[in-house]
Amino acid sequence: MSVPSKRCDVLLPELSTPAALLDLEKLERNLGWMAARAKQLDVRLRPHIKTHKSVHVGRLQTRGQHGGITVSTFAEASAFADAGFRDITWALPIPLSRVAEVASLSTRVDRLHLLVDHPDAVEALEAHGRSCGVTFDVLLKIDCGNHRAGVDPRSENAVELGRRLASSVHLRFRGVLAHGGHAYACTTRDQLERVAQQERDETVGFAERLRAAGVEVETVSVGSTPTMAVARALPGVTEIRPGNYALFDVFQATLGVCTLDDVALSVLATVVGVYPDRDTLVIDAGGLALSLDPGAMHIDRDGGFGRVSVPGVASMLRVRSLSQEHGVVEGLGRAGAVRVGDRVRVLPNHACMTAAMFSEFNVILDGRCIDRWPLARGWNP
């Protein structure tokens, strides 16, 4: 593990709460695991940095890789470009309100891939490219069963849209992209494997139909953390875009993709109340610190809003409910001698949502905070 130089040295009890803690050893282990998966699957790794929004994590994550990343917002794209990332895919159908901004950003990087799945977006991009002399790199987003965004890859419209992109003067058609987000609704590994197969098959199959129609397809991009955890082989796929694996969380552990010991993000909180009559304690991490993500409720209906690790107590407690700044934790009776003022750590249900609640990570190594890494939050640079 390459340990960065210590830029600060703070003991955990000295941190103000709530605070986001990033366990550097677990992070490195998680990053190494997916890098090995990509190598084994013989695909490029273009990690989705929305999970952490940190250029420091992004640099560790792309070591030894080709350097491409995936982002979810224009703010992330811009911050990572500023930090030297040159190959960026914005994995949201391009909001046309951002066209002028992406045109400007695209001149600062080698490639800024934009997603399209509708002729109107294609037309608007072409018109803007024509008027300001920019050529946009575009990927065609397909729906591989998630039913959120994307064209139906089996439709004639999809092939027609690919043809149109390929023949455009102000667009460079780079390939096809899908996200098997419906993996998060699975309950068994078998189901996960089927979604991973579907994600691959629909995307590669569509790329082949485009090629048969005379359209050159360079990039065939798939991926989520759960599907990339279980995929056995990805012939025809050129790159994968998992993101959550960097931090992992209670949802992924419930899904069986990791263990709770792999979760690299936690929220440090202070116990502000203990209520033996109600068997609860209250911490100063509420819905704004942990996010209101209910986690994998389809598997664990009473999973609560995060797992609480109390020093000296073997089993973890559950966050039962959240209000804005209060977290109610159940199981005080199992929490031993926990007292008002004690610190606890909460493993989040959904690390991407929880990380985004904070402006910085406290980077933890050997029980000390050795650095602070800012997050590129929000939507505007």
101 is an interface residue for a second copy by CB under 8 A: yes
Among 202, 262, 284, 330, binds a second copy (CB under 8 A): 284
* Binding window for a second copy (CB under 8 A); candidates: 24-32, 159-167, 265-273, 307-315: 265-273
| Stretch of 146-154, 197-205, 208-216, 229-237 lying at the interface with a second copy (CB under 8 A) | 146-154
- Of 214 and 379, the one with the shorter C-beta distance to a second copy is 379
Centre a 10 Å sphere on the Cβ of residue 311 and count the other Cβ atoms it contains.
Answer: 12
SS3 state of residue 220: strand
Tell me how far apart the alpha carbons of residues 114 and 127 are, in angstroms, rounded to a whole number. 15
Residue type, 372: R
Please state the closest distance from residue 236 (CB atom) to a second copy, in A.
Answer: 26
Ramachandran angles phi, psi of 296, nearest 5°: -85, 65
Element (H, E) at 365: strand 360-365
Minimum distance from residue 120 beta carbon to a second copy (Å): 4
Per-position b or e across 7-22, b if 16+ CB within 10 A of its CB? eeeeebeebebbbbbb
Q: What is the DSSP letter of 305?
A: T
Residue 148 interacts with a second copy (CB under 8 A)?
yes
Query: In this chain, which of 194, 326, 334, 368 binds a second copy, going by CB under 8 A?
Result: 326
Site size with a second copy, rule: CB under 8 A: 62
Site for a second copy in 180-209 (CB under 8 A): 181
From the list 70, 266, 270, 362, which residue makes contact with a second copy (rule: CB under 8 A)? Answer: 270
Of 1-9, 161-169, 258-266, 269-277, the window that binds a second copy (rule: CB under 8 A) is 269-277
374 contacts a second copy (rule: CB under 8 A): no
Here the tokens at position 149 are 């965004």
Residues forming a β-bridge with 321? 328
Residue 328 or 370 having the CB closest to a second copy = 328
Task: Count CA within 13 A, CB hemisphere, residue 360.
Answer: 12
In the region spanning residues 32 to 91, those forming contacts with a second copy, defined by CB under 8 A, are 50, 72-74
Between CA 92 and CA 26 the distance in angstroms is 29
Considering only 291, 310, 335, 346, the residue that binds a second copy (CB under 8 A) is: 291
Q: Give SS3 for 286.
A: coil
| Residues 232-261 within binding reach of a second copy (CB under 8 A) | none
**One-letter amino acid of 218:** E
| Rounded Cα–Cα distance for residues 246 and 71 (Å) | 14
Token look-up 């917002």 returns 73
Contact call for residues 221 and 203 (beta carbons, < 8 A): yes
Closest CA to 71 of 312, 369, 359, 356: 356
| Given 260, 274, 297, 313, the residue binding a second copy (CB under 8 A) | 274
Rule CB under 8 A: which of 115-144 touch a second copy?
Answer: 117-118, 120-121, 124
Interface pick for a second copy out of 45, 352, 375, 376 (rule CB under 8 A): 352
Site for a second copy in 159-178 (CB under 8 A): none
List 133, 235, 312, 341, residue binding a second copy (CB under 8 A)? 341
- The three-state (H, E, C) secondary structure of 91-149, written as one string: EEECCHHHHHHHHHHHCCCCEEEEEECCHHHHHHHHHHHHHHCCCEEEEEEECCCCCCC
Residue 85 or 358 with smaller CB distance to a second copy: 358
Residue numbers 6-25 binding a second copy by CB under 8 A = 15-19
Residue 212 backbone dihedrals phi, psi, to 5 degrees? -65, -25
Confirm or reject binding of residue 362 to a second copy (CB under 8 A).
no
Binding residues vs a second copy (CB under 8 A): 15-19, 50, 72-74, 92-98, 101, 117-118, 120-121, 124, 147-150, 152, 181, 270, 272-275, 277-278, 282, 284, 287-289, 291-294, 321, 323-326, 328, 339-341, 343, 352-353, 356, 358-359, 378-380
